[in-house]
Structure 1
């Protein structure tokens, strides 16, 4: 008994079991292992505007918060890069980190998030243009060789200056986006070794910019995927449309999404590093074939739909297009569930596939649907969203 009491032989000692219980109780308030430090570059797109990632109270919109919450909770740095016609580093934030109680960690997180929101307000454009390729290179240079490097891009991916221009018409669906990316390869060479790029908002345009189609979105994905892969990195896309932020400033450039314009690189990529260019592949064949009536798989204009189907069907032969994907889409219907919208979109895909076959198409058709979450979804344009995408490759 004397071992557990104060007395002539020394101070009272706590039994080992009691010490373990006390330690476990203390860890309820925050004794997790410290997370690893991360080095992150955030590219802020010119067209949505830095303010487009903030709501009217200056707080980060949900897509931004979801992308950076885990980063802001730990140690490391976040570098904010503004993508205008002259991409630049706006600020590098040293993240506050407290490894103590949950309250201390929450306070550190709130401080980091406020610092990011302040940096976004400082990321207003200097030049009313956009050069995503140069912005990506700057981001790669900012994190390459650092602890746990990452790049997060919030950008619609359209370029009004730089190595490849994307304006003045519809991007030609016959353009070889892989070839264009490799013409730009010299810009990013080795910039992304071991780095993953998380891209949000590709093709997420706002007024006065015209809608970005699924065909354009696929071309842009091919372009940026090839560009980053050839620089030894990897890219992942989150196709959820951005929204909820402050509208862009009046001086936002109008990006008419038209044809790719190629510009010679300086310096050019050495001939020894050139990569053979594959034959051009047309991916999205059409997404404007027909429109549907609301909450139905009946055509909005049957005579026009039948003419369009009859014109397309002879072009879909198994010799040229062995397999063709037909993906139905819907408007975002507040009266329907996600499952109901998905079912309706699949029905539309099957209807188009059957009608194309009835008009002599011999390709193997793979009908499906994406509900309202189709590539090229247009906010507040319900009629335009009631459509199908016909493609010679799978629709992501």
Structure 2
């Protein structure tokens, strides 16, 4: 019995050895076959015999799947100018290896080369969502951070973007509304249009001269049932809007019924306060029309929607100079300026000694005055004028969009801004923040 057991064990060892030897030989043979395919593929690629090169690459891939080989095949498609094959192949790499950067890199660079920047940013954002990163992807992202396109449409006039829409005038002089992508949201057909607000409504003036409120679909929603002679109408905010009747401004409700007021001019309410002008002096009032504090001013700066206060502060003019106050009328800081723009974010532009720079909401200088003119920061970008032309800087005071425009305005949160050329106003869109 002992001998039989020893023979059985010996047989098992021999069979195992033979199996291992066979496996080793098969593996060695497969490796040799793989190496030959790769060698042939590279040789054919160098000779520009692309069909044979591709065939050998695929045979090699069938023997041994790897991200490295797929990357080499992508390089082959790229170097042999097979654009469509490269695009399809790179998409396949992302599908098979969703957490490896190579597929994203090849496809992003392909789209960049084709100037398909929206598609390029779709891939870069897809990689970010999957937490896939590399120096190559980061470098490309930085390189294209301020790449832009300019919409073909021309506007003869415009207001400001607010709540995702902007009133613009076409070449015919009629007003309508576009969204931040430049797509018409409300058809042209008005004599005038004012900004939308959080209320969801905007005042418009019909061709007949009547003012009424529309929603973002362009539907007429509220009208002046008393049929007063309204000459102007400000944005509706906090259930109030300033309307001009017989040369005087008053505040009215959503149905155009008078609430209070008799002013030379009246701004838009925000956070319970608004700026008004009376007897050539400006003051701050609350929602009941009562003056806040006892001070009056030579001027109060308003933005394109009629707001005076942003970030809890406003610019007021006393003794020929602008300074900051809070919503209670108390001074903020001690600095004064020759001119200023209402805050759009944490920094805005002020003028000192004939030059424009930037301050924070405490009134402290962040960027020294150095520009011919400057707009407020929004979306971490600000329009500045250099040698008579407008471009954009970032918060680090670096020019990131060259000054080539006649005028330039603030960016929306979705990366759109109005610029002006010799023909008219156009919409500039950053690829990284916009979608087709």
Shorter-normalised TM-score: what interval? under 0.3
Looking at secondary structure, tell me which structure has more strand per residue: 2
Give the structure-2-normalised TM-score. Answer: 0.24
Larger Rg: 2
Which structure is richer in relative contact order (CA contacts within 8 A, separation 6 or more)? 1
TM-score w.r.t. the length of structure 1 is 0.26
